[in-house]
Every structure is written in C-alpha cells, then in structure tokens.
Amino acid sequence: MHIRGILALSVLTFGTAHAEVPQQPESTVSVTERTAVTSSSFMVSAAHPEAAAVGRAVLADGGNAIDAMVAVQFMLNLVEPQSSGIGGGSFLLYWDAAEDRLWTFDGREKAPAAAGPDLFLDPATGEPLSFWDAVVGGRSVGVPGTLKLLETVHERFGSRPWAELLEPTIDLAEAGFTVSPRLAGAIAEAIEDDLGRFAATRDYFLDAEGAALAAGTTLANPAFAETLRQIAAEGSAPFYTGDLAAEIVATVTGAEGNPGQMSLDDLAAYEVLTRDPVCMEYRRNTVCGMGPPSSGGLTVGQILGLLEHVDMQGLGNSPTAVHFFLEASRLAFADRALYMADADFVPMPTEGLLDSTYLMLRAQALDPEASIGKARAGNPPWRDARVLAPQSQPEPGGTTHVSIVDAAGNAVSFTSSIETGFGSRLMVGGFLLNNELTDFSFRPMAGDRPVANRVEPGKRPRSSMAPTIVFDADGELRLVVGSPGGARIIDYVAQTLVAVLDWGMDIQSAIDLGHFTNLNGDTTLEAATDAETIAGALEALGHKVNIADQNSGLHGIEAVPEGWRGGADPRREGVVLGD
C-alpha cells in the first residue's frame, strides 16, 4: 500500500482506562537533557548501548534496516531480558523506500486454543484473580510471535545472512555481558514479585544467597547461546515445532501452582500477519501506526484528530495546551475501553470512530476552562456498539522500542514486549516467557454485555504498543518513534509528536520533555521534571493530579537537512548511533 493510499484505508479506535498497578520497575532515573545526535547516512536508536552498537555495525557493513533490527532485537534479549525477547511478541512498521510503501506486521502473542473467557477467573469464587496471581506462572503465557516476525521480515526484506546477524549475541552470551544499573535495580525490585519462584529464573538472576545480581557483574548465558545457535542454523523451526517447542510447552503446562494451557499445536500454528497501517492527517503530516490488535496507533491517531481542532502551535507548551492534550486523551481512552480488541474476533467501529463529523462533535467537549472529568465513550455511527461493555485493567510495561533508518532511506519502527518486566517469571532456553495474556480483560462480561477484549481461543490480546512513522506533506519520511510504558505508551508517543509537529522541538528535546498523561482518570505529571510546575494550574481546571515517575523509553529519529537526527530517552540507558 503506497503512502498516498494509506489514509483511504486507515482506521482508528481506542483506549481503556487502566487501574494503576505497581509497575515492574525499570530502574527509574531523573530526566536530564541530552544532545541530539545527527548523521548523514544511517541511524539506530535503541534501549541499550550494546544493542545500538550491533545495529550500527550491521548498517555500516551495508546491511539494511531489517537486518539491523534483527541483530538489535537478539542483543536486547540478552542485555535487556526483562523487557523483550523471543519469548514475547512485537509489532513492526517498515517503510520500504524503494517501493514507496509502508508495511505493518503483527507478531503479537495469541491465546492457546484451550483458553476460554474464564481463564483469569477463580474457579472457587468466579471472581477475577489478583493481577500477580495471574501473572506468575504458565497461565499468563501467550504463544510468542517475535521470533517468527523476525524470520518472516528477514526472509522478505533482509540482505545479510540470517546466521551472521545472530553471531554478536551468541558471542556475548558466551563471554558474558556487564549487568547495568537499570537491570540490577529491576532485578532487586522484582524479587518482591516472585522473580525467584522458578528455578531457572532464580538461578540466572539471583546469586547463591537469593540476592539480586549487582551492577557491574559479568553475566553469561550459555543456554541462550545454544538456543541462538539452533535458530541460526535452522531458523524458527526448533522454537515452533522442535525440541525447544516441547520444552516451552512443558514449562508452561508444568508451572507449579499456576499452569498454562499451551500445546505444541498452538506453537506450530502461529502465524505473523500483515495488516493495513492506520493513519491520521495532522498539521499536513500523515501519522501512521499499528492497527488492531494494537490500540496504540489507533488511540494516538484519535488524540491527534481531536487536537486538530485546537491551536496547539499557538498555545505552545503551556498549561492550557497540556490541559487540551489531557482532555483529548480522556476521550480517546474512553472509546478504547469500549470498542478496542482484536478485530479478527470483534467487529470494530473503525469507520465510525474516524468519521469527521464524529471527531468534530467529540472535540466540542474540549473546554479551555474546565476538565470534563471521567469521559464516556462516544456514539459513532455503528449500532453494534450497544452490545459491548467497557474494560478497566492494569497494563504495566516490560517493553522496548527500536527506531532505525538505513542508508537507502528504509525505516523501522519496532516495539517488542514480554508485558510486565520479567514476564511470567518462566525461563526456557535462556530467555523469559511473556505474560501477555494478562492484557486480556479478566472479566469476560460486565452484566449481560461482553467485554470486547475478553479471552477467546486463538485471539490476540489488545496492546498499547505504538510504533509510529510520520510522513510530511510531500509524502517524505519525517519521523520514526515509539516507546515502552504500558498503557501510557499512547500518551508518551502522542506527546512527542505534538512537541515536534506543533511546538517545533527537535526529537531529543521532545523526548526529554516531562510527561503528562491521562488514561481517563487522574492526571499524572512526571516527578522531578518541569511538568510538576503546572500541577496547580491543572487542579484549578478540575484535574485530580498525581506526581509520579513515568518511565518511558522513547527512541526516535527525524529527518533534517543534514540527514537524520536522533533521540534516546534519558530515563533509560539507550543511545543513538549513526555514521
């Protein structure tokens, strides 16, 4: 699908209000400004220096953006294991410059065929399990998709040999990498949430006394090296149909106290799907993201669509502009809670939610002098909406994002996750297994109405991942961005877009900006940033304001006259590298 044809086929929908849950820590830090990096040829922005370095090496050696992405993700699995890996799922936006075409690939996890709507209900009481009782063990593990996605897109677009792209990670897994302060901190805090329940995970992340590994420790992973050797030689086959598949199933179904329902047939049947991107015109730019089962691109798009009716440029980065942003987010998340789920299973009111009249009417609720408070879902021109009930569910984030542009102008916006930091706490072959099924609604019904995002066999849980690519008015690549952060990913990405497209910030300054988020509840301002200073102004408008860490992991690249300019989130340890 060519860029000029995207809008005619695009679709948007949205967000759920999520209850606050103790987010699996990623070792938060105060935000300190960084200097944007420029490059004339190629660029990679990733969440760990080792991963960015291997991506840069691939690009410098003539590899393309897909080659670099493959190498980066395998390295992230090793050095940032709590956030992503082949035991999880992912979404990819890929801009093919030669073909003038934007592709989106769905590598999201799937529910096993044996999983039903009662998966997260206590059989004794019929009530939902507590969040952590659901997470820890095999019950929460979805059929992973990241490895299949990497293989699928490499076979289609890659230029370097597959095995060559795995070699750096194999070598470092054997030799050992240095445990970073962020990883050490995450391990220490995750101990409180059963990180040590299962032997393989306990033996890898904790020392002989059961304490977290210290920063600076050299940590080898020979089991992962062996897994990667099999994958280098045979592709994804060992993972989905071979001995490794059998080990995954045995681990999931044998998890003491909380077994899962995954089968060998579930793994063998997994497919990566090519989907249409969802795009929204904003200030003469075309902002494109991932469609269902991700709600990220859809909800970002609706926030921007509502803000089209506000002079955000004229207001600048002011309390009034932030107020309008938060109110637009409320409206978008209200719609997301009711309508959004895997469109292969649930009819989606996509045309209605994008309807220009509908968005114009929703935008009339944006009042410069008062907050609307808790927003209700809108009534787009779609009758079937009446049978659905909204969902409210925790959505912590154990996720990573990679932005890459190669010398030919191809671009990758890739967000990958195992859900909560350290996922299900189950480890196989040197990698962690996800807990993505807890992204489903624990309650399948609200009264006599089904929740759109309920568990169903083979269904992909709703996600907030929002890999994004922006094109200018001439259809030229302008911006590549994305973030981890659970449900707050949506606001992190939308805020970054507003900062660049409305307020004229460079990508690094936009990423550095203190966060302000609202998931259709309280407003949260990022602690230890300038965002705190507008708390009083927002409270005067009726916002209930909380001050808290908001640990995004934004990584972005923008086109500039010199070539490319990149930014990496100072809240984490990622870097930008170019030529």
Catalytic residue annotation = 399
51 with 69: CB under 8 angstroms?
A: no
Please provide the DSSP assignment of 411-478 as one string. EEEEEEEEESTTTTS-EETTEEPP-GGGGSBS-SEETTEEBTTB--TTPPPPB----EEEE-TTS-EE
Give the C-alpha separation, 74 to 86, whole Å: 8
Nearest to 259, CA basis, from 267, 268, 251: 251
Cis status of the peptide bond prior to 461, with omega within 30 of 0: no
* Per-residue tokens: 260: 């899962």
Give the C-alpha separation, 478 to 559, whole Å: 5
Helix axes 296-307, 356-363, angle to 10 degrees: 70
Task: Supply φ then ψ for residue 408, to 5 degrees.
Answer: -90, 0
How many CA within 13 A on the CB side of residue 215? 8
Helix axes 65-79, 222-234, angle to 10 degrees: 150
Give the C-alpha separation, 329 to 321, whole Å: 12
How many residues in the chain? 579
- Amino acid type, 134: A
Give the C-alpha separation, 352 to 344, whole Å: 18
Q: Which residues pair with 401 in a beta bridge?
A: 415
**Tokens 């659905």 label which residue?**
388
Q: E strand or H helix at 223, and its extent?
A: helix 222-234
Nearest to 299, CA basis, from 334, 324, 274, 327: 334
How many CA within 13 A on the CB side of residue 317? 19
**Tokens 């949205």 label which residue?**
14
Residue ranges of alpha helices (H) inside 505-568 are 507-512, 535-540
Give the C-alpha separation, 73 to 95, whole Å: 18
Give the C-alpha separation, 371 to 18, whole Å: 19
